[in-house]
Amino acid sequence: MLMENPDFSHEMKPWTIVADATLARFDTTLKGLTDAEARQRLERHSRNRLREKPPRPAWMKFLVQFKDLLVIVLLGAAVLAGAIGDIKDAVVILIVVVFNTFVLFPCIGGRHRESSTPWT
């Protein structure tokens, strides 16, 4: 919106614009809009809302848990244990990782829904 109007280009600093110019730009007065004008503008322009990001699917939240450094280290240890022939240790480590993932998934899934963390 600011880029379209040469009077309010990106080079102008909004705090340097005088009140009269701002009122003229938005076709209003110091008293604001009347109820009828506000309704009319609402119908014409719709509500001023930000688009919400679509929620991340549950399977993606589940897989993201495997990006945790500790989980990666444990998976590496399981692979290494399997490679040297210590299958029991490899299986136990994998069971711990999978169990931890399934136990934490409901907690993390709900927590991330409420916060704006990078992995949601």
Query: For residue range 22-70, what is the model confidence (pLDDT) as tens digits?
Result: 888 888 889 998 999 999 999 998 888 888 888 888 888 888 888 889 8
Q: pLDDT tens-digit profile of 65-107? A: 888 898 899 999 999 999 999 999 999 999 999 888 888 777 7
Q: What is the pLDDT of residue 72?
A: 93
> Residues 63, 108: one domain?
yes
Q: Is residue 51 part of a domain?
A: no
> Residues 63, 30: one domain?
no
* Domains of the chain: total: 2
Q: Whole domain around residue 82: which residue ranges?
A: 58-114
Q: What is the pLDDT of residue 115?
A: 47
> Residues 104, 62: one domain?
yes
> Residues 62, 110: one domain?
yes
SS3 69: helix
Longest dimension (CA), the chain: 80
Cβ proximity of 60 and 52 under 8 Å: no
Q: What is the pLDDT of residue 3?
A: 45
Rg (CA), the chain: 28
DSSP-derived letter for residue 12 is: S
